[in-house]
Structure 1
Amino acid sequence: MTEDMFSTERLRVRHFTPDDLDDFAALCADPAVMRYVGDGDTLDRAGVAYWIEVCQGKYADRGYGTSAVFERASGDFVGYCGVVRAPGNDFDELIYVFHQRFWGCGYATEAGRAMLDHVFAISSLDEIAATIHPDNHASIKIAGKLGMVEQPSRVVEDDGPSTFFAITREQHAAR
């Protein structure tokens, strides 16, 4: 088993391994879960296996990337959270996606806050962003809870409409 990157009161977070393929693929096959992720399409098993390979390269290069999130009490796979730089972007972005049964539990805020702590601690990043579909009201609320501020002047050429949020290292440290 891979060592945890960090844990919170209710969650454990660690790097993905090939052993996580079944759990990760099941998450990415759910259309409701993937509605606001990328182009909104689900991912097949081969696409998820490739994503795990990319993640492992990011861990080696940067020390962080998309990471597996587990519920501490049950050990169940909740979903993923991480800070990534999408191809073509010039910014690093907080992402999180969880199984529907864990929606509304506060896990995205809990994991997001801890991921920001972790990445700011091990990197030289001055800012971490989030691009959120304007209809994804839950994620917009979470961004606010994390101290992220909407940046209306920043536009991202993404797979669809996005609202840009960001938090600086200083803003995060002051929280």
Structure 2
Amino acid sequence: MIHQSRLVTAHLVVRPFLAADAPLLVALFADPQVHRHVGDGQLLAPDVAALWIERSAANLERFGYGTGAVVERAGGELIGWAGFARPGDGTQEVIYGLRRASWGRGLGKELLAGLLAFARERGITSVRATVDPDNGASVHLLRQAGFVLAEPGYRGDAGADLYLHGG
């Protein structure tokens, strides 16, 4: 995510969240297949979506990049979220998710490649990702992009494996 502009790939744009995106994120998370491997696997409440958008804007202001809305270039429809989170230990963690209707079209691979290129362009040499080991599609995507499993059961959580790229 770039503060003044956007991360653009062949088919996608990652742009800053807008307040109007909150209900769209809530609707996206209403699909159990989408939210089952995200965070605690629960639905996204409207107040939490609004807070996420608020915090994302603050990160853009403070760091110049963060997490934003993924929209298709053709049509501009919001289909997911992506960017970087900061877990508090100085690392950069890539996060992403797409609506189910967008799965299986190569968009996740394209999105992750764009995020890694963005990191390289800014001198970020090490990126991490945490993923539910049962999320085979995401594990495959990370491995294809060059991530390696660094810690199964990250911090004692059997539902989160830590993957590293670079560094």
TM > 0.5 = yes
* Structure 1 counterpart of 2:102: 102
Contact 2:131 2:161 in 1 (8 A): yes
The alpha-carbon deviation at position 22 of structure 1 amounts to 2.2
Matches within 5 A, 1:4-153: 4-86=5-87, 89-122=89-122, 124-152=123-151
The alpha-carbon deviation at position 89 of structure 1 amounts to 4.7
Question: C-alpha distance in 2, partners of 1:84/1:117?
Answer: 16
CA deviations 1:54-91 (Å, max 9, x no partner) are 000111111121111111122221101111123x5553
- Whichever residue aligns with residue 109 of structure 1, its letter is K
Runs of 4+ aligned residues of structure 1 deviating over 6 Å after TM superposition are none
- Gap runs ≥5 in structure 1: 170-175
Helix, strand or coil at the partner of 2:104: coil
Question: C-alpha distance in 2, partners of 1:97/1:158?
Answer: 24
> So what's the TM-score if we normalise by structure 1?
0.85
Identity score, percent: 33
- Gap runs ≥5 in structure 2: none
* Structure 2 counterpart of 1:161: 159
Helix, strand or coil at the partner of 2:55: helix
Contact 2:12 2:72 in 1 (8 A): yes
The count of aligned residue pairs is: 165
